[in-house]
Structures are given as C-alpha cells and as structure tokens.
Structure 1
Amino acid sequence: MKYLQCSTCGFSRAFTSSAYAYRNFHENVRFLLTKGRLDEALTLFYTSNITHTQQTYADLFHACARHGNLSQGRALHRHMLDTHNQNTFPSLYVSNHLINMYAKCGSLEYARKLFDEMGERNIVSWTALISGYAQSERLQECCTMFSRMLVDHRPNEFAYASVLSCCDLEVGKQVHAHAMKTCLDAYTYVANALITMYMNNDDKNEAFEALVVFKFLKSRNLVTWNSMIAAFQTRGKLEEALNLFSLMRHDSNIGFDRATLLSIFSSLLIGRDYGHNMIASCLRYCSQVHCLAIKTWFISEIGVITALAKAYADLGAESFDLSNLYMESQGKRDIVSWTAFITIFAENNPEESLRIFSELCQSGLSPDHHTYSIVLKACANLVTDRHTLSIHSQILKHGFQNDTVLANALIHAYGRSGSLIESKKVFDSTLIKDIISWNSMIKIYGLHGQPKDALKCFSEMNLSLSPDATTFVALLSACNHAGMVEEGSKIFESMLKTYKIVPKLDHYACMVDILGRSGRILDAQKLINEMPMEPDSVIWSSMLGACRKHGEPKLAELAAAKLQELDPKNSLGYVLMSNIHCSIGTFSEALDIRNQMKRWGVKKDPGLSWTEIENRVHEFGSGGIRHPERNAICDDLDELVSELKGLGYVAETNLALHDIEEEDKNRELNYHSEKLAFVYALKHGESKCYGGAIRIVKNIRICVDCHNFMKFAKCVHAMTIGDGGITSYLVGQQDPPVLDIKKSSHKKLSKWLRDPHLSRNKETKVGNIILPL
C-alpha cells in the first residue's frame, strides 16, 4: 500500500510487475477517486494490463458523474463496449451507474435511450433518470417517469426527494401524501425536500406545513436546519431565522457550516426595514456571528468574508471594520469576491470602491462586465465624469462596447456626474436598446431639467417597446421638476387606462408632489385618501413640504404625525414642523419639537458639500469646519454676500431648514456648505474645467436661502462662470440636480428668476427625496 502516495507514473510502473494483484489495483483506483483525482485514476485504468471488472467501471462512471465530466464518461463507455462481451457487459449495476452518469452530466436524451434499451430495471434505474430530469428542471418528464415507476416499484427516499425538488405545489402535495402512505416522509432526504418545497410557496398555510414537517422530524441533519433557516430568510422572517439558528447551536450536536453563516448574514439585512433600533440590534448580532466565524475558522473562506462585509456595510458599520475584512481577504479573492467588495463601497464610499478596482486591475485578474457595471455605479456618485471617462476607455479596450448592460450603466454614470452630452452619445451608439436603456435616458433628461426631451424620448421608445413602471416614475419626475401639472396628471391617468400598469407607491409619491408643489393641496390630500395602499414616509414628506410652502399648518401637523409614526428617527418631519411654527410665530411649539428631538435621540444629518479642484475632491461642512482653508474661504464668502446684498439679496432666515437658534441663523446661513464650496471653486478657477460648470455634490437637500444665493451669484459672476453654469447634485440618490443654473443673458436670467416654477420658494421631489430649489 506504500504506492498509494505515488504519482500516476509510479502506479503504472508498479503494475507492470506481477507482484500486485487486482485487489491492489482496485484499491488504488478508489484512493485516487476519493481524492478527486479523476484524470490520474483514468490514466492508471487505461495503462494497466489487467482485466477490468464491472465494479471498476461502476466506480469510474460514478466519479465522472460527480465531476460532471461527460467527455471522459463517454470515452470510458466506448472502452467498455470495445473490450468486453456485450452479452455480459454491462450488468444492471453498471447500467444504473451509466444512466446516472449521462443524466447528471446533462445528456438526458442518451440516458433515456439507455434506459429504454435495458432488459431489466430496478428502483435505482428509475431513480437515476428521475434525478437527472429533476436536476435539469424538466418537470413534465420527471413527473411522468415518477408516475410510470409507481406501477411496478415502490419509490425510495431519493426518488421522492428528486421529484419534490422540481415540482410545483399541487404535485408536491400529492407526492407528500404518497410518501406518508409508504412511511418515507419521515426520512431526512424526503423531509428536507418537503421543507424546501413548502417554504418556496408564498402561502402562509404552506409555510406552516413546512414547520410541521420540521417539528415532527426526529432525525435532522445539517441540510435540514440550513433549509429551514434559508427558507425563513427568503420569506423575510428575521426573528424566526435567528431563533432557529440559536436552537440549532444549543439543542443539536450538528454545529453549523458555511451555508448556515451565509443565510444568517443575509437574514440580518432584513432588519434594515424595521428602523434604527432594529438595525443596531442586527449590527450587534452580526458582530457575534463574526466571532463565531473566527472561532470555527470559517472566516478563512472568501465567501464568508464577502457576505460578512456586505452585512456590515448594509447595516451601517464603520468603514474601519469593512477595511479590516478587506485586508483579511488578501490573497484569497477571485473575481466574484473582488466585485463584491467593489459593490460594498460603491454607494457610500465611491473613492474606496475605485481604489479597490484599481488593485483588481493590478492583481492580474481581468474585470468582467458585471465588475464594470458596479464600478460605474460608484462613478455615478462622484463629483465629475473624469473617472467615468477612464472606466469607459477600459470598457472599449476590453471589447465590451456592444454590451447593453454596460451601455446602460454608462448612460447613468455620465448623467449623474453631470455630462448629459456623453450620456446621449452612449445612448445613440447603443446597438440594442432595452427598456432600461430608454428609462435611463428619460431619467437623465429629467435629472438635467429637460422634460420636453424626456417626453420626446418616451414617444420614440413607444415605437418599439412598451413602457414599464419605472418609465412612468422617470416621466412623472421630469414633469414634477418643470411644474408640468396637467401633463403629469395625463401621464398618471394613462398608466392604467392606456398601458394597463397599476400605479405603485413611487408613482403616487411623484403625483402628490406635483400637486402639492403647484399649490393644489386639497387635490393632493384627496389623492392620498384614494390610494389603494397605505402612504409611506416619502408621500407624507412630500405633503409636509407642500404644506410648509403654501401655509397649511393644520394639514402639516397631520402629515408630520404620520411621518413620525412611520419613521420616528427621521429628522425631516420634526425640522419642517419646527420651521412652520417659527414662520407663523408659534415659537413655543417649535421649541417643544426641538426638545422632543433631543429626548428621542433624533439628530439631523450635517450638511456636507463636495467639489473637485484639479483632480482633488474638497469637502465642506457648515461653518467651514471640514476644510483647512476655512478662514480665507469664509472671508471670501463674506465679501460676496456683501456684494449680493447690494443687489437685493436677503438671507431667508424665516425659511431656514436647519435646526438652529434664532440669533445664530444669519451667521449659520452665511456659511452653509454649498456656499463655501461655490466660493472656493469660483476662486480657484474651477469654472474653467468640465465645460465651464461649477459642480457641487451634496448629501442633503439645498435650502431656500442657498438657492437664492446661487441665483444672485450667477447674475453677478455670469462672465466668470461661463457657459457651464452652476450644477449641484444630491449624492447617492437617483434624483435630478438640486440646482442647475446655466449661462444666459441678464435679461433672460431676470425672466428665469421671475418664472413661477423656478421661484425662490420652489420645491421639487423625485424618488425618495424632497429637494427645495
């Protein structure tokens, strides 16, 4: 047996000697197969000089099936037919392995041919073919073969499990009943398949059936527990999944595996839908599971590290924790794990996402089209289109220029980073435009404040494709920003009448905001009351903003109460109501709201702005606290404000959306982050870059005062800013520009300032954010 550790050549030399009998040969073949070394086992098989038995063929056919190696299986089959008497070869035992090999390797037609030619069949023969059909999800053939088998044979647990793995609920119930009659429903393989079959159905009663099967199953294996946990996870049952995981660890001696951890990490993401307290609890639980993964060494598996990092990121963990996990995965990453880490950082830390992408390119691996689509998502959250241009060039270099998915991502990335022209170029050059291509272009037109082009694009799309629900969100958004109330109303009504698309929450949110912004508060309230579903926080936010703008304090209180009920940690409702009370002079109520925020731990997100100067991103916070040149920037801003006041600019302190004391409002309004970013970009010649545009990215909506400031600043510095104008975007959202002021003559600019839809109190909303303009 010392030759068990030898190479293939060693085996071949050993068997040229008559010192070794067949028993040694068969044991050595089996040893190689158990180690997964199929090629070496076959080499040893073909180079040996002894007569091979049916058992050796059966073992090799079984190994080919396990490895999915159809070509080697066919060659072995030909060898068997060429070297043996077909009257005695193959036996029923070998024939079953042969059918199993062809079925598992996807050659079902040939497996069926061999099955039909068999003179004798047993339950294994039937089960092998049924399992093949089930594996290929060919339900009709699987059920037909199962029914034919019942005529002469009693199914075994593997036959039941196979047919249950691919059948629908109606057939599954019949199979379950038959399994109960044969007393095989309590077998672990059958029970696992029953649990999966029932839990894949959305009916609550069927989920209860799965729980009954699980409860009365005496012998549960790891697959049983994992199936049940995964089933709870896919149904969004967070508490049940975690409780079952706890029960699994304490009441069984099975332990857990990689699949268990992946299901738990995915389950924790359900907590995002249940508010801040639940997110914090899920984050703590995630840390505990992280410790378990370290203790059991599962943390060394790249799949576990990637799933853990995604859970941490989606639950809002510190970037330090994510960076540590990224470092721990060093040397283990494949293209899937690289892409996963790029995805994790793409939304909230796009610079880090691009840095990881750069490391991927230097690692020797080539990004695939999915990796490029994710990194373009990160580019869409950056200040300029410089990075998008770079990624675009790599896409062309690697031959992905005709990939529609990447074209759609480029349209979005260029548009979000301020380059409508480049978006249109990519759209026009896309050979095969799908519904996402058209929706993206319509959305980009709306984002850049060009509703007529958005409607024209919609008309062109209708010539070849039917719109979907997303199309109408983009159209209503475009109408919303242009104040096109009648056009928006017609589009909303046409959804069901013309296109048979039932409006969803997003469509109602857009329509409520269209009506509210135009002053039709009662119509907006009527629409909310007539909605077939419960309004969400976005709709009540729109209503609250409209009430603030048009002076409806009583209705505003109702909207604020609904908003606080749905999302008690959202500062928007509190701040807007506080400002409404301040504007009508009820300061005591405003103070009560502020104190309520403090008691409940509700904090307003600090306003941040970014702009890029000479390929370097500068970040600004209110008061300039985040920039090293704070004092000089504030001095420059004071000079500009004094200049604008001479033209009639007055700070809108009564409409300020920031939760600050009255005596500090003038000082705080003067030093808002977007003003500081604008002054800094103006001073450092940023207007000479990117087509002459000053581009500012924000994390929250722009206030009314800053909007007015930008309009006056544009009027004073029209010649300095140039054709590009001033463009401000809300980072991380699929929304239009917070502010987009293009160059025009002073006469046209004055007309623009008087436009009722672009007035100083204008508000707009698209998607999930209200944007005061």
Structure 2
Amino acid sequence: MKAAAKSLVPAPTFLHFTVAVRAICRFMHAHISTNTPPDVRAHISTNTPPDVRTANYLIIMHAKRGHLHLAHQWFAQMPHKNIFSWTILISAYSQHRKLDRCFGLFSQMLSHHRPNDFAYSSLLSVCDYWHGVQVHGLALRTSFDAWIYVANALMAMYWNNSCNAGVEAWRVFEAMDFRNLVTYNSMITGLSMHKQGDKAMDLFIGMHHNGIEFDHTTLLTLVSSLCGSNEGSNNVAGLICCLQLHSFGIKTGLALDIGVVTALIRSYSILGGEVDACHKLFLETSGMERDIVLWTEIMMASAEREPEQTLVLFKRMLGEDLFPDCYIFSVVLKACSNLVAERNASALHCQVIKAGFLNVLELGNALIHAYARSGSIDNAEQVFFEMSLRDIVSWNSVLKAYAVHGKAEAALDFFKQMDVAPDGTTFVALLSSCSHAGMVKEGTKIFDTMYEKYGITPQLDHYACMVDILGRAGHLSEAENIIKKMPMQPDHVIWSALLAACRKHGEKKLANLASSKLKELDPENSLGYVLISNIYCSANSFDEADSVRMKMNREGVRKEPGLSWIEIRHRMHEFASGGTQHPQIKAIRANMEKLLRQLKKMGYVPETSSVLFDVEEEHKEEQVYHHSEKLALVFYLMNAADSNSRGNVIKIIKNIRICSDCHNFMRLASKLIEKVIIVRDANRFHHFKDGACSCNDYW
C-alpha cells in the first residue's frame, strides 16, 4: 500500500475555524436548501462548531456543488471524524476522478477506521490497474472482497484496466457466492468494451436462466456489443441476436426507450440489416423526444445505401428545432458523396458555413471527399486551398480525388507540395493515379521509394496497386512475380486485379490460377466466375464459359446486377441492365434505336465480345444496347427539353465497371449531343467530352 498522501490543507486553528464558518454561513444563507435539516440550519445560523453529523452533511453539500476544496476544509477542521466522514470525501474525489487524493485519503483513513464497502467501491471506481490490485489485496485481507458492492467494483476496475481480455474480472465473478443485476451488467459492459459480444450474449442467457431480471442498461449494452463482435465474420449470427434482443425489448417495454432504439438502429445498420427495418424503428419513436444521437444513427444507416433518404431525414431534423453538430454534418456529407449531383454537397456546404463550422478540420476533409465523389474536382480543390488548417487526411483526400478523376500528373505535382509527412494512404492514392494513367515507370519508382526514402513498408493495398499497374499495361509475368515475392499472403483484391488484367489481355492460363485463388479466398464473390467466363466468351469458348456459369449457379453465387442512377429534376432514377422493370421501357427503347442510328453514322460498332452466350450477332447487339448506363442516358435525353439540370453536364453513377462497348457509346454520344457526360463506375470517373474520354481509353 502506498504511503499516506500528505494533506494540502494547513492545520486549522480556532480563528481559522471561526472565519471559515462565518464565510460559509453567508454563502449558505444565500443558497440554503429548504430540505436542509433544522439542526444543520441551526448550526449555520448560530456559527457554533458543528457536530460530526452536521459536518458530514456540509461536506456532502459542498461536494454535490463541486466545491471540493470547501468540502476538504470542513473535513480537515473536524475535531472528530467517523467512517462516514472519510468515505464521503473519498467518494467526492472519486466522482471527479482524483485518484491521488482518493488513494491518499484512503491510506490515512486506515490509521483510524476499518474501511467499509462503500469506501472500497468508491476508491476502486477511480483506480488504475496497479492501485486497484493493491486495494484488491487489502479487500482480501479484510474479507471485503466477498461483499457484493466491492466485488462489483473490482470487476469494473479490472475491465476498465484489463490488457488480457478481463481474466481477473472473470476470476472475481466466478468466486462470488451471490450475484445481482449490477454484477451481470458490469460483466456484460466489460465484455462489450473488449468486443466479446458473443460471450456477453452467453452471459445474458445464463442470467436469464437464473431468474435475474434485466434492465435498460443490460439491453443497451448487449445491443451495442453486437456491433464490434462480428468484424470480419458472417454477420448473420449478430443479426439473429439483435432480433432476439429486440423481441425482449418489445416484451418488456424497454424497446420504447430512445437509447435502446438508437442502439438497435446502429446494430442493424452495422450488421447489414435492412435499411427499411431501421426506418421502421425510427418511426416508432414518433411523438417521443428524439435526441441528436438518434437522428445521427438513422442518418448513418441510410448514408451509403439510401443517401437521398439521409437528406430527407436531415430536413426533418431541422424541422424539429434540433441543431446539427459537426458529426451530423459529416454523416450528411457522406451521403452527398454517394449522390450524382454536386448541388447537394454545395447546399450542405452553405449550411456548414451558416452553422459556424467552416474551420472545423474534419468537415473540410468531408467536403473535399463529397465534392470529389459527386464529380466536382474544382470545388474539392477550392475547399482544400481555403482551409485554414490541413492534416494528412486533407492532402490524401485531394490525392485520391485526382486518382479517381484520372489526373495522375496533377497528383504527382501535388505530392511534391505536401508540407506533412506522407503515410501509407498517400502512396495508395499515388499508385492508383499511376495505375489509371498507365504510368508504369512512375508507379514503380514511387513503390520503390516508399521504404527507401520515407520508411513506409508496403502493405497489401500497395502490392495490389502494383499488380494493377503492371497488369493493365500487359506486363502480366511481372505482375505474377510481384505476387510470388510478396512478404505476406495475397488477398482477394490482389487476385482480382490480376484476373482483371488477364481479362483485358486475354490471358487464359494465368486467369485460371487467379480465378481459383479468388474463389478460395472469397467464395461468395461472383467476380472469380464472371471474369473467367468473359475470357472464355471472348475466345469463343462458349462451352467452357457455360460450364463456369453452371458451377456458379450450383454454388449459389449470384452476379451483382448492373445498375445505374441519374438525377433529373431533383429526382433520382434507377436503371437495371435490360430495363424490363422500368415503366417507360418501351419509350426508352424506341429512343435508343434513334440514337443508335445516329451513332452508327459516326462510326459506332457494337462490341459483343463480352456477351456470355453463343447466340446470333443480332441478339448479342441487342443485349449490349440495354446496359443500364445507356438506358440512363437515353432517359435523360428524353426529359432534357424540360429538365432544369445545371449546365451541359450529364452525370451517371454505375455500380460496376463500365464495359468497353458502353465506353465507346458514351464517347461518341458526348460529341453527338454536345454535352459533357460524366460516368462514375466502381473504379473511377470517366469524363466524356467532344468524342474523347479523360481516361484516354485506358481503364
């Protein structure tokens, strides 16, 4: 046990005592509570030295007001102190996280009194690991470790300071003869802190079997624990647990609590649950006092999968007289980055300025990302250069923007201007820029200087970029050698990059290797099947392609459907390849035929090598004509006459890589209609203008 801490308060004299009493009397007369006991009021009024009970009450009153120095003065002036006097002051200091004061007082108390369970639990609530171990040792010697409050406090202390998954907390828990709700809540909270949601659920089941009723804290902590316990694994088990806890909450009425609803929405969202389920939960809080945290979570749930809904929710929140904070703005900006039009980011930019958050670093970075992703590289640059403070994230955000927009030269020049040390993300952005531009020599040099000049060891992302750089340029053997010499096992991203390169250059043998590796690492990903099937089709090996497709069906692997989105008159329109479900598909196809006739006069020839079936050329052409981005463009042109779209720019988002036929189609269409067409696919932006693309037909 540490030596007793020396008191910072000088020893009181009778004169000190009299002056202090008079000063406190004046204060207490102004602030005295009507609930103050009569005998305490009498002591304050008459200036007589208080007895122990009265002094303890005065210490409590000062402590509750946060006046710890006054509480300590009263304590120091007491001629006689009981165990409660010491415990009250220790508890007051513990609530303000004053470990040294708590420990010093506790050590002094041992010379006068045997500590009680409240003194132990108050001290343990503020202890670090080594102080906590000493207190635990004393509790063992005094047999207080078996007291329920002390044992609960010991568990909480070990969980808060554990570096070994709470082994000591488990030992305390298992040694307890009696456990209450606080015991289980402490253990569940600790398991949640250490991302052991599965064990927390097991403990909850045991608690339920033992007949201990759970409360709001139990449910809230359990639901929250599910978010961090399924990283990298199948989220189905987590969703099932979330549904079970939701059912418990409905049965007990706890699901009506705003905190529980917030946790449920967050868990459903993180675990991949349906966005509609989150919205249904949110709507059930109608008429309740929704706080800013609840609004944040429901907007986060929608930001990626239903970004338009996030903007609607943001407007509704403003209508309820709630003021957005920095975190709310960052979530809504994330939603803007998933939308087509830059006007959404611009409108929110105005809101950020109006709210006084213009100089908040994180929001500046989010604005750069939102503008870049919505196709406005100029606005992204402007935000960067107007920022009063920049960090590595700011620089990396602009570098990534240059990469996806095909501005490799600008990225390399910008890198030379950096006034902060680069990190791994910086080099991923630079290598991606080189990959999109076919700059093999520059990319190789950057990769080699990462460690030599900057001391940054290449990771999987950097190796994936190098495989992509070499593979796109046709250096397949060099790309394969990079994979063989890697100091770590290649992941599915690396094999995907090699397989895509094989698809581009028609390399069947290496493609088979990459495809098999990709299926091993990511068996539910359709890419390993689709790309090798495309390679066979391009080589007119339709039997082999059909065999791959049949195996894909047997394994239950589904190809991600090609989808495109375009905004017209502030409304988002979605198109799927084929377009059979669109209500205006007949009109779209009729207008498509007119456009095709014009494009063919300009030299457009349908590229059907990627069509996956051995059918007549006429039917192959019909299939490529109805790819989702083509349908989106035709639909825009049908509505262009009365569209209030800004300027001469058409923006389309596509969820997968644009095919070579659609690329050629868009390139010629931009010249025909005399408009800039911007297509954002899964990998990058394509800016089509006057019959040319920003990628220089290298993608």
TM-score (norm 2): 0.85
Match status 1:740 vs 2:691:
no
- The alpha-carbon deviation at position 696 of structure 1 amounts to 0.1
CA displacement 1:273-322 (0-9 Å, x = unmatched) = 455xx433433332222221111001111111122122223333334423
CA distance in 2, matches of 1:138, 1:502: 42
Match status 1:408 vs 2:370:
no
Match status 1:379 vs 2:339:
no
CA distance in 2, matches of 1:586, 1:146: 83
Aligned 8 A contact 1:694 1:721 in 2: no
Match status 1:721 vs 2:674:
yes
CA displacement 1:615-664 (0-9 Å, x = unmatched) = 222221111224322122223323433444455544333345xx667565
Question: Among 357, 376, 384, which residue is 1:427 paired with?
Answer: 384
Runs of 5+ unmatched residues, structure 2: 1-30
CA distance in 1, matches of 2:533, 2:232: 26
- The alpha-carbon deviation at position 105 of structure 1 amounts to 5.3
* Counterpart code for 1:53: D
- Map 1:458-537; keep pairs closer than 5 Å: 458-462=415-419, 465-537=420-492
Match status 1:192 vs 2:152:
yes
Aligned to 2:308: 351
Aligned to 2:553: 598
CA distance in 1, matches of 2:456, 2:56: 52
- Map 1:564-603; keep pairs closer than 5 Å: 564-584=519-539, 586-603=541-558
CA displacement 1:81-106 (0-9 Å, x = unmatched) = 8524352x2x4444445545555655
Aligned to 1:38: none
Aligned to 1:389: 346
Aligned 8 A contact 2:120 2:150 in 1: yes
* Counterpart code for 2:414: C
Percent of paired sites with the same residue = 46
Aligned to 2:202: 243
CA distance in 1, matches of 2:85, 2:449: 58
- SS of alignment partner, residue 461 of structure 1: coil
CA distance in 2, matches of 1:389, 1:482: 29
Match status 1:457 vs 2:414:
yes
Aligned 8 A contact 1:624 1:634 in 2: no
- The alpha-carbon deviation at position 713 of structure 1 amounts to 2.7
Match status 1:268 vs 2:230:
no
- Map 1:198-209; keep pairs closer than 5 Å: 198-200=158-160, 203-204=163-164, 206-209=165-168
* Counterpart code for 1:741: F
- SS of alignment partner, residue 417 of structure 2: helix
Q: Say if 1:444 and 1:107 are closer, same or farther in 2 by CA, change over 3 A.
A: farther
- SS of alignment partner, residue 557 of structure 1: helix
CA distance in 2, matches of 1:485, 1:346: 36
- SS of alignment partner, residue 523 of structure 2: coil
Aligned 8 A contact 2:566 2:574 in 1: yes
Aligned to 1:304: 260
Aligned to 2:28: none
Aligned to 1:440: 397
Aligned 8 A contact 1:449 1:481 in 2: yes
Match status 1:231 vs 2:190:
yes
- The alpha-carbon deviation at position 166 of structure 1 amounts to 4.0
- The alpha-carbon deviation at position 474 of structure 1 amounts to 3.0
* Counterpart code for 1:573: G
Aligned 8 A contact 2:129 2:162 in 1: no
- The alpha-carbon deviation at position 672 of structure 1 amounts to 0.3
Aligned 8 A contact 2:197 2:225 in 1: yes
- The alpha-carbon deviation at position 611 of structure 1 amounts to 0.9
CA distance in 2, matches of 1:501, 1:139: 40
- SS of alignment partner, residue 654 of structure 1: coil
Aligned to 2:15: none
Superposition RMSD in Å: 3.4
- The alpha-carbon deviation at position 52 of structure 1 amounts to 1.9
* Counterpart code for 1:515: L
- Map 1:730-769; keep pairs closer than 5 Å: 730=681, 736-737=684-685, 739-743=686-690, 749=692, 758-759=696-697, 762=698
Q: Say if 1:401 and 1:186 are closer, same or farther in 2 by CA, change over 3 A.
A: same
CA distance in 2, matches of 1:557, 1:618: 38
Runs of 5+ unmatched residues, structure 1: 1-40, 58-79, 763-772
TM-score (norm 1): 0.78
CA distance in 2, matches of 1:53, 1:501: 71
Aligned to 1:52: 38
CA distance in 1, matches of 2:281, 2:366: 28
- Bigger drift between 336-345 and 265-274 goes to 265-274
Question: Among 658, 663, 668, which residue is 1:712 paired with?
Answer: 668
Q: Say if 1:82 and 1:93 are closer, same or farther in 2 by CA, change over 3 A.
A: closer
Q: Say if 1:565 and 1:688 are closer, same or farther in 2 by CA, change over 3 A.
A: same
- The alpha-carbon deviation at position 494 of structure 1 amounts to 4.2
Match status 1:369 vs 2:326:
yes
